[in-house]
Structure 1
Amino acid sequence: MLHYPELAMPRSRTVTTVCNGKREVWNDYEKAKAYFLKLMISTDGGEHDRAKCVYIQLMHGLDKCSDEAE
């Protein structure tokens, strides 16, 4: 069992995203979240759903986020 809750642990500032087949490595977690939030707001249909999937994973603090089913 972890001594500290997972949310209290410092997370890496680097995150890898895969959306619509495009893989990107971000050095700033907040910029990645802002990008996918903007993409989610400005699109509709399938593109909106893919951006939303990645954004939700970012909000949960994952280091690897993808719109692909695993």
Structure 2
Amino acid sequence: MLKIPELAMPKSQRVTTIYSGKRNVWTNYEEAKAYFLELMMSTDGEEHGRAECVYIQLMNGLDECSDE
């Protein structure tokens, strides 16, 4: 058992997203989540699904999120 629970450890603010073949490195998790939430809400069809995929991965705390 760890002395400090994993959930209590500080999470890195750096995240990499891959969306429509473009790789972006974000230095702030919250900015990335806000961007993909707005993108998801303002699009429909296939583009909405790809943005939603990245957003869900961001919500789960992954360090690299992809629309594939």
- TM-score, normalised on structure 1? 0.88
* Runs of 5+ unmatched residues, structure 1: none
Matched residues in 1 for 2:45 and 2:3: separation? 43
- Counterpart in the other structure of 2:7: 7
* Pairs within 5 Å for 1:29-40: 29-40=29-40
State the Cα distance separating 1:42 from its structure 2 match.
0.1
- Counterpart in the other structure of 2:55: 55
* Runs of 5+ unmatched residues, structure 2: none
Matched residues in 1 for 2:67 and 2:2: separation? 29
- TM-score, normalised on structure 2? 0.91
- The one-letter code matched in structure 1 to 2:49 is D
- The one-letter code matched in structure 2 to 1:17 is T
Q: Does 1:44 align with 2:44?
A: yes
Matched residues in 2 for 1:26 and 1:54: separation? 13
- Which consecutive aligned stretches of 4+ in structure 1 deviate over 6 angstroms post-superposition? none
Matched residues in 1 for 2:3 and 2:49: separation? 36
How much identity, in percent, do the aligned residues show?
Answer: 72
State the Cα distance separating 1:44 from its structure 2 match.
0.3
State the Cα distance separating 1:3 from its structure 2 match.
3.8
